Amino acid sequence: MKLEVRGIHKQYANAGAPHTVLSDVSLTVGEGQYVTLLGPSGCGKTTLLNIVAGFIAADRGTIRVAEREVSKPGPDRGFIFQSYALFPWMSLADNVRYPMKRQGVPKDEREKRLDDLLSMARLDGKGHLYPHQLSGGMKQRTAVVRALAGRPQVLLMDEPFGAVDFQMRLMMQEEMERLWLKNRTTVLMVTHDVQEAIYMSDRVIVMSGHGGRIMADLPIDLPRPRERRGEIYHQYEDQLIDLLQQAFVDGERP
Ligand SMILES: Nc1ncnc2c1ncn2[C@@H]1O[C@H](COP(=O)(O)OP(=O)(O)OP(=O)(O)O)[C@@H](O)[C@H]1O
Ligand SMILES: [Mg+2]
């Protein structure tokens, strides 16, 4: 297993009354799998991803990356936030160099990886541009290749297509699939969008709105590159909408 999450518990003390966000959450992601976490707002998806990244400590449970237990952030995990979080004062190329510099990748190797990544993301010749000079799609591709530059074992993404309009979102999903098909990095991604989950994932893990439990772990058996149509696609859609409704109802329980 590339990523193993076992028995994670997390409580927050809200004005004295403890609020259980995650209770006994376990999941695994196999080498080269694309797995999404789907669930209603507030069910604990971001909290879980942040625990996996090492940004938040769990009360109990363990995270293993390539069989090694981790408790702090490290270069074995790349992270993409909802807002892309590129450094606005750095050029596109310097954004992508940044994780490699931090890891002490030698200059020649760094520049070679940079060229390969920019060409993979169809950003050749754009390295000198600054984030404010990039379109939304270019920013997102930069964020993806920056996260890949450090050669992480696992790529963690929190609603990476969340902040854009519908057309752009579809385009970004297609770009992401294309990049991933070239790269096959192990991915754990958060979304609350059923269609996005089906389009992107090898497996969809559905979280309940009540006490942060895993309700279902559904393999998506559709050929790639994916199509957003067809009987099987719509069967998955119905199944996930039902699960999500149930997850939402669970969350309304006291
Ligand atoms: N630092 C914190 N202190 C107290 N409660 C918190 C904290 N962070 C998150 N929570 C609570 O934990 C719950 C889960 O939050 P989380 O951000 O993980 O949800 P989510 O599933 O990512 O939701 P969304 O889909 O809206 O992004 C929420 O009820 C939230 O209010
Ligand atoms: Mg969230």
Instruction: Give yes or no for residue 50 CB within 6 A of ligand 1.
Output: no
C-alpha 39 – ligand 1 centre gap (Å): 12
Q: 134-192, pLDDT tens digit by residue?
A: 987 888 889 988 988 988 999 999 998 876 778 878 888 888 898 899 889 999 999 98
The answer to whether residue 58 sits within a structural domain is no
Atom of ligand 1 nearest to the CA of 50: 18
Q: How far is the CA of 50 from the centre of ligand 2 (A)?
A: 10
Averaged confidence pLDDT in the chain: 91
Q: Is 47 in the pocket of ligand 1 (CB under 6 A)?
A: yes
Nearest-atom number in ligand 1 for the CA of 49 is: 18
126 in a structural domain: yes
In a domain, 137, yes or no: yes
209 assigned to some structural domain? no
Across 146-185, b (16+ Cβ under 10 Å) vs e yields bbbbbebbbbbbbbbbbebeeeebbbbbbbbbbbbeeeeb
| Paired tokens of 137 | 């799609």
The number of the ligand nearest the C-alpha atom of 21 reads 1
Number of domains into which the chain is organized: 1
Structural domain range at position 92: 87-141
Question: What are the pLDDT digits (tens) for 41-74?
Answer: 889 999 999 999 999 999 999 999 999 999 999 9
**Is residue 68 included in any domain, yes or no?**
no
For residue 226, pLDDT beyond 70 = yes
Nearest-CA residue for atom 5 of ligand 1: 12
Measured from the Cα of 207, ligand 1's closest atom is 21
Protein residue whose Cα sits closest to atom 9 of ligand 1: 47
**What is the number of the ligand closest to the CA of 25?**
1
What are the tens digits of pLDDT across the range 94-118?
A: 999 999 999 999 999 999 999 999 9
Q: For residue 84, is pLDDT > 70?
A: no
Residue 116 lies in a domain: yes
CA of 29 to the centre of ligand 1 (A): 23
Contact 169, 177 (CB under 8 A): no
121 within a domain of the structure (yes/no)? yes
Distance separating alpha carbons of residues 198 and 220, to the nearest angstrom: 7
The helix (H) or strand (E) run that includes residue 154 is strand 154-158
Pocket test for ligand 1, best of 9, 10, 11, 12 (most atoms within 8 A of CB): 12
Q: What is the pTM of this model?
A: 0.92
Residue 184 domain flag:
no
